[in-house]
Homo-oligomer: A and B are copies of this chain.
Amino acid sequence: MSEVAYLPVGKREQTKVQNRQAILDAAREVFGELGYDGATVRDIIRRTGLAAGTFYNYYRSKEEVFAALADDGARRFNPILKALRGRGGPLEDFVREAIVAYFEFMADEHETWMGRRPAGEPQPHVHGETPEMAAVFAEVKDAIENAIAEGRGPASDAEYMAAAAIAVAREVGDKMLMRRPIDTAAAADFAIAMILHGLKGVPEAHG
């Protein structure tokens, strides 16, 4: 009788949350394996064991679940990044810590992303560019540009710098995930060194 009204968590609500999560997880896997275009809504729901129509109770389209994935990733990684940026230290510190955080995040998530492209296919598709990573990259790029603008980093071509730093992180991270055991420390060391030394050697802005 006194069914304490804490939260609306009946079995139904639970199932709903679980299903939503199941679809999100399946979508993550499928997009990772097949790329955005290669993936089909059917691929996603098939992996959940749910019925075809059920997908549409949660997301209105393939595009929407993709967007949700990006939100999800950003929601989880951005706080870390925000904290790092809040400190306002030199760019060097930010890069160092961001890379470490990013690689660890990647490794954490990684089993979901492991279904790599079946090597027969042409080549294109997503790269490391999962929706979640896209959100992360946007944030990093912004941070780097801010740091440069505030004089906390070398005054070179901000866009090129951000692009180069991100590119290194992404590619090295990608490679890292393909090795066993996954050694985030080594990969981070490499990427940090590459980026910091590289950026230091970059020519002055030509503006």
Contact = CB atoms under 8 A, between A and B. Distances in A.
A36 interface: yes
Given A175-B159, A190-B202, A196-B201, A36 B124 contact: yes
Contacts of A202: 190, 193-194, 197
User: What is the oligomeric copy number?
Assistant: 4
Interface in A174-207: 174-175, 186-187, 189-191, 193-203, 206
Interface stretch (A2-10, A62-70, A80-88, A98-106): A62-70
A111 interface: no
Contacts of A195: 198
A126 interface: yes
Contacts of A198: 168, 193-195, 197-199, 201
Interface string A54-72: 0000000001001100100
